[in-house]
Structure 1
Amino acid sequence: MNTSGESPPVAARSLWSRIEAITDYFAFPLRTSHYVELVNPLWARHALQARVEKVWDETRDARTITLRPGVNWRGHRAGQHARLGVPIAGMHYTRTYTISSAPERDDRCITITVKAIAGGRMSHHLVRQIKVGDYLPLGLPQGDFYLPDAQPVRPLFITAGSGITPAMSMLRALIAEERLPDSVHIHYAPHEFDVIFGQELRAMAAQHPRYKLQLQLTREIGHQARAGRHFSAEQLNELCPDWRDRDVYACGPPSLLQSLEDHWAQAGLSRRLHVERFRAAYADLPPDAVGGLVRFGKSKIAVQADHLTPLLRVAEDAGMNPPHGCRMGICHTCNTRLLSGCVRDMRTGKLLNETGAIVQTCICAAAGDCELDL
């Protein structure tokens, strides 16, 4: 049996599917796939996994990881994301990461590019600890942040930090398909050495005249160098005078995205702005907001929590491993029930205090004492 990790040919997979339907009867209560996983985890059909093929440090705190997905993988569209699981200290954590590679890769691999963030348990592990040969649980590609196939666009990419990853996937795909249109890319980073994909971006700008790169370094040494480097209407008019006629694809920190949404709304052009968020946008909380004692009914654990920490993180810090997925209120994998007390949805500021109410632990925090069905 081939154990190299390469996916078997289509005809072989079809034949194996028919054989597997028969052998599953003898593998009960498991499936044949569970035994195949012992030989090659990438051939398992009951769970999708990926093998780490390569790691590459983009900057001092950002790393690109090349993954070879298993047989259940389906192709992604440039700009989409996927869930990735990592076991850390005996617990399983899941995060969603944008696929930074183009779908047109001929080696059937994908890449994710991760930036280590302050307090980020999984991002630090991926950037510092992950190694070639590791196997990681992988979800199928999702998301609607991608360029349209049918209609031509003249894109304006506005990105900051690791928010460059979906734009990079799109640009790589457009170049691979030889259909790169007139494109402008405004990217914000603190310093020259913080620009993820910096060398490749400059090479693209040199090789493709239709791609105009505008790097904005926001923390260069000296006050004069920093002045005016953050997004503003004046800056936009200078860097991209025809921005009103372009479709905008933006990804970055919440403060940048809020500024963009306000600017395009004031111009009456919100329909042209497409935004991808890595974190949920939180509402302003009242000054008298408080946390409380959080009880986890099934786990018999009680911990004190503040009014800003998501209940999912509270549970994880208490040694629990509750179900979770996107961690930004989209997938509802973390849903549980409120048994008593009060919690707050941090996206809206709304209080939930009805017994039996569904609580999304990734975007809700304690608003007084409460008990959850976890």
Structure 2
Amino acid sequence: MNNFLKQKNEWREVLKIVKQLDPKKLEIVKSTLPILKEHGETITKHFYQRMFKSHPELLNIFNQTHQKTGHQPKALADAVYAAAANIEDMSKIMPALERIGEKHRSLQIKPEHYPIVDENLLGAIKEILGGGATEEVLDAWADAYEIISDVFIRMESNMYKTTEAQPGGWGGFRDFIIDKKVDESEIITSFYLKPKDGQDIARFIPGQYITIKAEIPGQINTHLRQYSLSDRPGVDYYRISVKREDEKENDIPAGIVSSFLHHQMKAGDILPMTAPAGDFYLNTESPLPVVLLSGGVGLTPTISMLNALIAEQPEKEVYFIHAARNSRVHAFKEHVEGLAKENKQVKSIFVYDHPSEEDRKSGVIAKEGYVTLEWLQEILPTKEADYYFCGPEPFMRVVNRALKQWGVPSDRIHYEFFGSFGDLAANVE
């Protein structure tokens, strides 16, 4: 915890030494922001096509599913717009900068990647806007991008150094052996990972994630995916619990990496991964009760938090609220029920939207349907708590709005959104 908080303070120091944009160029950037907002996604879609054509090696870094769904171009458009709109004082969007920086470090984005983005982003702006992108406009945006990229390069340099210097830390990808696989439900499987070199592993803060590199037979490119760590720190392994993403409607194929992990990887196989990262983590210094809310596989970080709280803060009052379709896809159900029985301060509350008759008869369901503000107000004795939530985007939206409507202060609302790495969390507002 101390190393991570020290790192966050260093990031804030970065903003104090970033150079300022020339006033004339600043005015040009400001005056063209509405154009960027209007054409942002078109520009970023073209940017990715342009960049991958000239630098196909970057296909080994970027999630191609997010390209197909449009999540990545939208996220980049939002990120560029927000950074440019706040270029005079980027401390206003520090949480978003930290979130992106953590993603970049985990994915091994390096200083040499930024000029490639610069060249292709400015090229895309020119090609999409045509005559509207004059040399004066492009020059101003080139300087703006240089400042924005300088912020990230400096921040991420601190992150790399801190990550490698911590006990058990490492740089780049490190090989881990799958010690065992455990089925947690019909669609979620846990992977227990131990370092191949037998050395210590870095401690993490409950809620953080790792990035794995999947080298799949028959695939030209490697695939990077981020998964929350689903057990507490302080043990000799990392655990991830992965949902098998089956084929969906709208031409969205089955998840390449999740299918690979479920169907091809077995105990004894190797998974390269980067050190734990992420700005969604449990605040162990708060005296308030903790409310953990999750939907579907979004329970992986909250399970880590629950396990850590019981092990390290056994007197802490905890409400574990999980929403799932039914018991067949509900991972860690027996584990959480057992913890609640053994620890009076822990309350387990389950919500199913498509329960079976057996589920209804079992009495395990606290609510049939969905999480709502009115229901939260009924089951929680007070709103004075720290809230942590993760799940599908619709679930995230509902919970976030409910807590805000209830008047929960923003500094007590914490969430993880696993969109593309440029996401500025607008998806859940």
TM-score range, shorter chain: 0.5 to 0.7
Corresponding residue for residue 335 of structure 2: 200
2:192 to 60, 66, 82: 66
Give distance in 1, aligned partners of 2:226 and 2:304: 16
- Give yes or no for the alignment of 1:276 onto 2:369: no
Give distance in 1, aligned partners of 2:425 and 2:317: 39
Give distance in 2, aligned partners of 1:45 and 1:76: 15
Please give the secondary structure, in 2, of the residue aligned with 1:245. Answer: coil
Give distance in 1, aligned partners of 2:404 and 2:172: 46
Corresponding residue for residue 290 of structure 2: 155
Please give the secondary structure, in 2, of the residue aligned with 1:103. Answer: coil
8 A contact 2:299–2:322 mirrored in 1 = yes
- Give yes or no for the alignment of 1:86 onto 2:214: yes
Alignment of 1:191-270 (within 5 A): 191-221=326-356, 229-242=369-382, 244-269=383-408, 270=410
Corresponding residue for residue 116 of structure 1: 244
Please report how far the alpha carbon of residue 102 of structure 1 lies from its aligned counterpart in structure 2 after TM superposition.
0.8
Please report how far the alpha carbon of residue 72 of structure 1 lies from its aligned counterpart in structure 2 after TM superposition.
7.6
Offset from partner CA, 1:135-180 (integer Å, 9 cap, x none): 1110111112122233323101110111111111111112222534
Q: Which amino acid aligns with 1:276?
A: E
1:75 to 203, 219, 224: 203
8 A contact 1:159–1:187 mirrored in 2 = yes
Alignment of 1:310-349 (within 5 A): 327-329=420-422
Q: Which amino acid aligns with 1:80?
A: Q
Please give the secondary structure, in 1, of the residue aligned with 2:388. Answer: strand
Moved over 6 A (4+): 345-348
Give distance in 2, aligned partners of 1:180 and 1:66: 28
Corresponding residue for residue 176 of structure 1: 311
Please report how far the alpha carbon of residue 264 of structure 1 lies from its aligned counterpart in structure 2 after TM superposition.
2.1
8 A contact 1:104–1:173 mirrored in 2 = no
TM-score for both structures, normalised by structure 2: 0.52
Give distance in 1, aligned partners of 2:421 and 2:185: 26
CA change 1:346–1:168 in 2 (3 A) is closer
Give distance in 2, aligned partners of 1:46 and 1:174: 30
Q: Which amino acid aligns with 1:170?
A: M
Give distance in 2, aligned partners of 1:45 and 1:161: 32
Give distance in 2, aligned partners of 1:136 and 1:117: 19
- What is the root-mean-square deviation in Å for CA atoms of aligned residues? 2.8
Q: Which amino acid aligns with 1:100?
A: S
Give distance in 2, aligned partners of 1:45 and 1:51: 18
Please give the secondary structure, in 2, of the residue aligned with 1:94. Answer: strand
Give distance in 1, aligned partners of 2:172 and 2:381: 52
CA change 1:186–1:149 in 2 (3 A) is closer
Corresponding residue for residue 356 of structure 1: none
Give distance in 2, aligned partners of 1:137 and 1:169: 21
CA change 1:228–1:192 in 2 (3 A) is closer
Give distance in 2, aligned partners of 1:45 and 1:237: 45
Give distance in 2, aligned partners of 1:262 and 1:45: 38
2:269 to 119, 122, 134: 134
| More strand by percentage | 1
Please give the secondary structure, in 1, of the residue aligned with 2:184. Answer: strand
Please give the secondary structure, in 2, of the residue aligned with 1:85. Answer: strand
Corresponding residue for residue 98 of structure 1: 228
Give distance in 1, aligned partners of 2:337 and 2:314: 19
TM-score for both structures, normalised by structure 1: 0.59
Please give the secondary structure, in 2, of the residue aligned with 1:60. Answer: coil
Give distance in 1, aligned partners of 2:332 and 2:285: 29
- For these two proteins, the number of residue pairs brought into alignment is 242
Give distance in 1, aligned partners of 2:425 and 2:296: 24
8 A contact 1:171–1:180 mirrored in 2 = no
CA change 1:248–1:109 in 2 (3 A) is same
Give distance in 1, aligned partners of 2:262 and 2:240: 11
Q: Which amino acid aligns with 1:96?
A: Q
Give distance in 1, aligned partners of 2:314 and 2:282: 12
Give distance in 2, aligned partners of 1:173 and 1:153: 16
